[in-house]
Every structure is written in structure tokens, then in C-alpha cells.
Amino acid sequence: MQPNTLSRRLNNVMQRAVDENKIVGSVVIVAKQGQIIYQQAKGYLNRENNIKMAENSIFLLSSVSKPIAIVAALLLIETGQLDLNAPITHYLSDFTPRLADGTPAMITLHQLLTHTAGLSYRFNEAYGQGPYNTLQVSDGFDHIAISLDENLRRLSLTPLLYKPGTSWTYSLSIDVLGAILMAVTRQDLDTLISSLITVPLAMHDTGFVVTDITRLTTHYYDAMPIPQPMQADYQMQLGDDWNHAIFDYSPKRIFNHNAYHSAGAGMVGSAPDFMRFLLAISSQVNALSSNKLINKMAKMHVSDEIQAQGPGWGFGYGGAVLNNPELAHSPQAKGTIQWGGVYGHNWFYDPAQDLAVVTLTNTAIEGMSGDYPLQIRNAVYGV
């Protein structure tokens, strides 16, 4: 992997995406064997005001926050404050969702981390119809401004999709985890994430408040002929490939003090901060733990039968895990962990190559699951 060649390939992919109006702005960072070998910003933080994207621009992270919250949980497990196999009622006595027939069900912490608890997201309900929409359960990045306690109360009234541990559904389980973290530490989520992770790793721009409003990107949605800026609230209606999901975005939610801090989708941060996080958890020597935390996260806890990111992908803690690169048509090695965020982000870590890649964009959902992240991946591997 020659740095000059890599830079040329990635620069071309990034600039072409901007020129072709696929992506408004993007920051890409690549690290190999713990060292950053590429870091670049292209496009616009705010296109309408001609403000260029910068390497330290701040983004709404959406699900990029999930691995951060999960690492916080793993650290508390290491100190004996949490038990992976304990029923979550041990920590949240009032959170007792039931099966559709009213049968009580036991959910463990492990099932929360792997999204096998039987919970779901409001956006998973086709055409916006179902109990999550009826009860107005917040997805953590939408306009529903309620407390976490109220959201868990509503969530506990929705029927579980299946007996915990028997299937997989991407869900609000990490928001439930956030409530557990607070119950165990008796700290608010912002404080405990700060003390456990962001302060030790000097992630100065990552948290539940915006540190510098001038560096916060304008977020855009896919549109023709060019992506358009999201207003206060925006509903993105998707098609067959997404089960007619409706993503309910609220870019101003981060400033609403009535909206709870969502461990699964509510943080802001920068690409350098998240790369610092990835490098820490993928190193045996790090400021967080005496363990290489990525080993626990990238273990395939749920088989690739679920196709978490298509054929060949299972699921670990905080991301999809690649089990069959050939089936996935991916140059990444078996054991790669990868995920993203609905505001337009993608990241992965390939343990065989000791290779970390962070791609944050302000364009949804192209930056998460369109051609752009695939083109970035292929450019990194030179395929």
C-alpha cells in the first residue's frame, strides 16, 4: 500500500463524488498498523454559503455512537459492574417488554449488544405503521423530544418481535444500554462517556453537545439533481430494499434540551476523534483497557445467516462482522467489523491488515450505504 498511490486513488474518488453531486462533503481517514497514512477533506461543510469541509468538521454521528457506548459497557464489564449474562431487569427493574401473546421474556445484556433482544426501531416499520409509530417511540435522532425514561416506558409497551436470543433485528437496544450505564454508574450519559472514553482518548469534539457550532456540518439528503439541505425535520421514505422504511431526521435535535441523550444515535463528533477511538480499541496498548477491545467486538456473535450488511456478514458488538469475503464480494479480510450511520457515515476495521478506515459525510444515505463507501473501500484496497 504505497501512500502516494493510495492518496491519488482516494482523492480521485472523493473529488469525483463531489463533482458528480453524490456527496456534498466528506472526511476520510485511513490508518494502518496504528499509524494514519491518509487524511483528507473534500467538498463543503455548507454548500450554500461556500464553506469548505475541513478535516476537523463536526458531524451528527447517528449510529457511529453505538460502538462508543458499547465500549463503555465493556469497560464496566471488565470491572465487574455489569454482567453480560444477567437479565437487564437486574439494572432496569421497570423495563419489562413482553412477547406479542403477553408472555414475559428475559432479555440479557449480551442480547442488547447483539440486537437479538426482540426490540426494533420505529423506522423499521413499513410505511410508518405499527406499534412503535402508534406509541411514538423515538429512534434517538428524530423530532420526538422526550426523556429517556419516557421513551423506555413507551418501548416497554411494544410487543417483542420474538423470544430474545432467537433472531436478529437492528434496534433501540443501545439506547436501553445507555439507561443501564447510567443506572450502574449513577451518572448522566454525557458524563460517563466523557470519563470512560472521550477524555482518556482526547476526543475533544465527541459527545452530546456541539463544541464549536462553526464547525458543525449542514446535513443533506439525496436528491436530484443535487442533494438538498435538511431543514428542522425531514422524513426520508425508502423503497423495497429498505422495507419501505421512513427515516425521521431532526438535525436540530442536538440543541433540544428536552430530547434525551441517545446512546445509539445521539452524539456528535469528528473523523479524527473516531479514528482515535478505533486505534485505541484495536491496540493492545491503549488508554482504556489492558485488553484489545476490538477482539470482543469483532467476534461474530450472530451468524452470517442474518446478512447484517448483505451475504457473508454476521454481527458482533457494535457492527457487522465479515465471515465470507467471497460471498460478500469484498476485498476485506474475514473478521472485518464494519458499520455506519444514517446521516451518511461508514467505518471499518480489518484485523488481518490492521487497517482502519473512517468515512464521515454530510449526505444521507449515500455516504452510509450508497456507491461512495464502496468506492472508498475499493480505493483503499486498490481493487
For the residues 290-299, what does the mean pLDDT come to? Answer: 96
Q: What is the pLDDT of residues 329-339, one digit of tens each?
A: 999 999 999 99
For the residues 191-219, what does the mean pLDDT come to? Answer: 97
Q: Is the Cβ–Cβ distance between 91 and 107 less than 8 Å?
A: no
- The region that residue 115 occupies, defined by phi over 0 for left and psi between -120 and 50 for alpha, beta otherwise, is left
pLDDT-derived band at 3 (thresholds 50, 70, 90) equals low
Distance separating alpha carbons of residues 181 and 183, to the nearest angstrom:
6
Checking if the pLDDT of 232 tops 70, the result is yes
Question: Which of the residues are catalytic?
Answer: 63
Strands (DSSP E) along the chain, which ranges?
25-32, 35-46, 51-52, 58-60, 220-221, 228-229, 234-237, 246-249, 268-270, 313-315, 320-322, 337-341, 345-350, 355-361, 363-364
User: Could you tell me the pTM of the whole model?
Assistant: 0.97
Domains by residue range for the chain, with CATH:
3-63+200-233+265-381 (3.40.710.10), 71-197 (3.40.710.10)
Checking if the pLDDT of 371 tops 80, the result is yes
- Average pLDDT of the chain, as a whole number: 97
